[in-house]
Structure 1
């Protein structure tokens, strides 16, 4: 997770980086979440065509506004 956070820090301030761990295999699952400080930091990430970390091409998806608002409503 630290390598992922370090890589994405070049695009802006990373608040949190989560990589779920698979207890059965002993490895990280092949997905994770990165939370940036500002929407501009997120846009900086998507301005680059591709991202490669430790030889693996990363597929990025931006969390939808709908899901974000659902999570905010749940935490209130």
Structure 2
């Protein structure tokens, strides 16, 4: 069993999972019980932590992490 570690919080991983599944900010916000602004903030933090700038890059990352 391979264990993947990442500097992302649980909520950031959850956000990444939703976005990688093709959900919009609004759909993600509703599913997580937060505002679209909060989803945007999570994604900005994810991008800053990981250096990925596009949604496509984040989606590839999510797939590689098994999300």
Q: TM-score, normalised by structure 2?
A: 0.29
Q: Which has the higher contact order (CA 8 A, sep 6+)?
A: 2
Q: TM-score, normalised by structure 1?
A: 0.26
State the structure with more CA Rg. Answer: 1
Structure with greater strand share of residues: 1
Structure with greater helix share of residues: 2
